[in-house]
Amino acid sequence: MVKLRNINFRSKSPLVLLFLLTLLVISTLVTASAYFVRPSIETELKGKVIEKIEEKGHKNMVVNVSGRDVTISGSVDSKEESSSVERMSSEVKGVREINNKLLIKKLSTD
């Protein structure tokens, strides 16, 4: 047994080792979950956004998801349609931010 300044290191070493091992396991699990779970969450969000948009009759739009941020691109007939698509997409549970990259085909000259 090694004693230094009346501290018994031998009895504390297993606890320190257990603590470090626990930290290693937790960090490995967090990293693995980010690697394996994130793509499925993105795929699920993308599907929900597309479903919501298409059920209202909006077609030919491209939806990309990065994390919980959704980018919608394509073309629409009016600014109102663009706003409607953006609003519907933001209503999907889990969406944090909408990047509206929709192009308006016709601008009214009112």
The mean pLDDT values, 10 residues at a time, for the chain of 110 residues are 54 80 93 77 92 88 93 92 93 94 76
Q: Rounded to the nearest 5 degrees, what angle is found at the Cα of 99, between the Cα atoms of 66 and 70? A: 30
CATH classification code of 9-104: 3.30.1340.30
pTM score: 0.63
For residue 97, CA distances in Å to 10, 21, 64, 69 come to 53, 38, 12, 5
pLDDT in tens, 30-57: 888 777 777 788 899 999 999 999 998 8
Q: What per-residue confidence (pLDDT) applies to 103?
A: 93
Q: What per-residue confidence (pLDDT) applies to 95?
A: 94
In the chain, where are the structural domains located? Answer: 9-104
C-alpha closest to that of 63 among 83, 85, 81: 85
CA distance 71 to 19: 42
